């Protein structure tokens, strides 16, 4: 049972766009509430390798100065490791008129094309070619041109990438059918505080008037919606009581509403949320959708919780083709659940028991942790590098809430493997 208070870090999906966007800025960007996770570390390393000066002021504040960066190819081995490296295409194209990167990596939820990113960059005047796993982009004359872009699919990444590329384009860009996630608003606010002219972020039409130059400034990243939601679900699943601090309750409404349907008590305050677990959880049906719908990045955590609820729940994945790999891991712990394409049917009332399981991806890893907290016996989770991509101090934060969780290192292993052990 989790009890106590937990402080939420800055939003991963905002930070991983803001760091590449800093490449556009001629001056020092002081960024507060930066989450210390492996995805942000990786992007900061990429910027440093490109010639940026990165200074840590304290654990959550950094200064990035890209004014001396000159064009060079992005470091491929690092680019390949994370999804968000695609924002460097927009940033390098916007600043230098040229970009050569690898195709992005990240969690494997099936095919994750970047055709809408390419459509956007092409509409802005770039020649873009994807060949042998590399993306080559350049624009004649070195500067992109504003235009109207209608996205065929609501894509967070494409919206943010086009936004970054367009801030210093010549003239006005309008992105229609844009995604509306809070981190898109955060990226726009960051860019505006550095001198950009972006309006309408958070709606499906974003208007960007290109400026000649961005200047340095200070910006604080919003709290992480998904990290907060994960602790909320963990509190509910364990029947505990947790005050989740440093959050924007409005961003969590879809998660709060679903938890209330399960019988969990959720009380909202100005910048915190109190979650009190119910003695019996009720089944709910979930369909993941773009914001303000239920986030796909909270689907696995809710899947773990629903194994314990009374009755049969149905989860429909509305974003990705293959985001239920974690279900077979839950079954190893005694869950009764089956998957048919984009639908998972979870028979509740399971008595979970600890088992060796895998973190198949970042949020699947969080789901395993939640299941492990609720299971009898010891759960050992492998491949925790996925979890480290998106949760700052996960083990310490959970331990401060009373969880019996620890990181176990195998020093004799040549791979230096680590697992999470939950009792």
Just list the catalytic residues: 107
Work out how close the CB of 393 gets to ligand UD1 at its nearest, in angstroms, rounded to a whole number: 20
Site for ligand UD1 in 55-84 (CB under 6 A): 83-84
Work out how close the CB of 157 gets to ligand UD1 at its nearest, in angstroms, rounded to a whole number: 3
Work out how close the CB of 370 gets to ligand UD1 at its nearest, in angstroms, rounded to a whole number: 18
How many Cβ atoms from other residues are within 10 Å of residue 321's Cβ? 12
Binding-residue pattern over the window 97 to 136 for ligand UD1, x denoting contact by CB under 6 A = ---------------xxxxxx-------------------
| Residue with smaller CB distance to ligand UD1, 59 or 153 | 153
Work out how close the CB of 104 gets to ligand UD1 at its nearest, in angstroms, rounded to a whole number: 8
The only residue of 2, 11, 13, 184 in contact with ligand UD1, by rule CB under 6 A: 13
| Residue with smaller CB distance to ligand UD1, 332 or 385 | 385
| Residue with smaller CB distance to ligand UD1, 119 or 242 | 119
Number of residues in contact with ligand UD1, rule: CB under 6 A? Answer: 20
- From the number of C-beta atoms within 10 Å of its C-beta (0-12, 13-18, 19+), residue 17 rates as buried
**8 Å CB contact between 255 and 288:** no
251 lies in the binding site for ligand UD1 (CB under 6 A): no
| Residue with smaller CB distance to ligand UD1, 19 or 237 | 19
What are the strands of the beta sheet with 356-358, ordered from one edge? 356-358, 379-382, 418-422, 405-409
What angle separates helix 299-306 from helix 362-374, to the nearest 10 degrees? 20
CA distances from 76 to 23, 72, 73, 80, 379 (A): 17, 11, 8, 6, 36
Work out how close the CB of 113 gets to ligand UD1 at its nearest, in angstroms, rounded to a whole number: 4
Instruction: Compute the distance between CA of residue 114 and CA of residue 226 in angstroms, rounded to an integer.
Output: 23
Q: Which residue is nearest to ligand UD1 (CB)?
A: 157
Residue (of 111, 206, 202, 221) closest to 165 by Cα position: 206
Work out how close the CB of 243 gets to ligand UD1 at its nearest, in angstroms, rounded to a whole number: 26
| Residue with smaller CB distance to ligand UD1, 277 or 300 | 300
| Residue with smaller CB distance to ligand UD1, 154 or 281 | 154
Contacts from 361-365 at CB under 8 Å and sequence distance 24+? 361/107, 361/108, 361/109, 361/325, 361/326, 361/386, 362/107, 362/386, 362/387, 362/389, 362/390, 363/107, 363/226, 363/230, 363/297, 363/298, 363/299, 363/300, 363/301, 363/390, 364/300, 364/325, 364/326, 364/329
| Residue with smaller CB distance to ligand UD1, 238 or 296 | 296
Instruction: Compute the distance between CA of residue 409 and CA of residue 411 in angstroms, rounded to an integer.
Output: 6
Site for ligand UD1 in 145-184 (CB under 6 A): 153, 155-158, 179
Site for ligand UD1 in 283-302 (CB under 6 A): 296-297
Site for ligand UD1 in 311-350 (CB under 6 A): 319-320
Work out how close the CB of 159 gets to ligand UD1 at its nearest, in angstroms, rounded to a whole number: 8
Binding site for ligand UD1 (CB under 6 A): 13, 16, 83-84, 112-117, 153, 155-158, 179, 296-297, 319-320
């Amino acid at each position: 049972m989790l009890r106590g208070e937990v402080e939420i870090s800055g939003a991963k999906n905002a930070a991983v766009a803001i760091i590449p966007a800093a490449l556009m800025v001629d001056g020092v960007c002081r960024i507060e509430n930066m989450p210390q996770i492996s995805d942000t570390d990786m992007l900061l390393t990429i910027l440093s390798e490109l010639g940026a000066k990165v200074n840590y002021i304290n654990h959550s504040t950094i200064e990035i100065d890209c004014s001396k960066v000159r064009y060079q190819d992005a470091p491929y081995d690092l680019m390949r490791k994370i999804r968000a490296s695609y924002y460097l295409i927009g940033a390098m194209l916007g600043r230098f008129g040229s970009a050569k990167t690898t195709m992005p990596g990240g969690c494997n939820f099936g095919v994750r094309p970047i055709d809408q990113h390419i459509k956007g960059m092409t509409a802005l005047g770039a020649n873009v070619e994807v060949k042998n796993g590399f993306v080559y982009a350049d624009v004649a004359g070195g500067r992109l041109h504003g235009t109207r872009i209608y996205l065929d699919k609501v894509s967070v990444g494409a919206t943010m990438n086009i936004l970054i590329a367009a801030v210093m384009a010549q003239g006005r860009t309008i992105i229609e059918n844009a995604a509306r996630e809070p981190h898109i608003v955060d990226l726009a606010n960051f860019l505006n505080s550095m001198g950009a002219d972006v309006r309408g972020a958070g709606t499906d039409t974003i208007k960007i008037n290109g400026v000649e130059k961005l200047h340095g400034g200070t910006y604080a990243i919003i709290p992480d919606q998904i990290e907060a939601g994960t602790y909320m679900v963990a509190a509910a699943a364990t029947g505990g009581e947790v005050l989740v601090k440093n959050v924007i309750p409005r961003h969590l409404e879809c998660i709060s509403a679903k938890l209330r349907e399960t019988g969990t008590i959720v009380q909202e305050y100005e910048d915190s949320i109190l979650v009190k677990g119910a003695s019996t959880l009720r089944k709910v049906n979930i369909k993941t959708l773009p914001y303000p719908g239920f986030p796909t990045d909270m689907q696995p955590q809710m899947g773990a919780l629903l194994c314990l609820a009374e009755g049969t729940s149905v989860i429909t994945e509305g974003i990705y083709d293959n985001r239920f790999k974690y279900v077979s891991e839950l079954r190893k712990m005694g869950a009764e659940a089956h998957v048919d394409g984009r639908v998972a049917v979870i028979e509740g009332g399971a008595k979970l028991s600890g088992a060796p399981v895998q973190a198949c991806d970042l949020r699947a890893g969080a789901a395993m942790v939640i299941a492990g907290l609720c299971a009898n016996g010891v759960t050992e989770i492998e491949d925790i590098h996925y979890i480290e991509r998106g949760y700052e101090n996960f083990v310490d934060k959970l331990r401060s809430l009373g969880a019996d969780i620890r990181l176990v290192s195998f020093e004799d292993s040549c791979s230096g493997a680590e697992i999470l052990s939950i009792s």
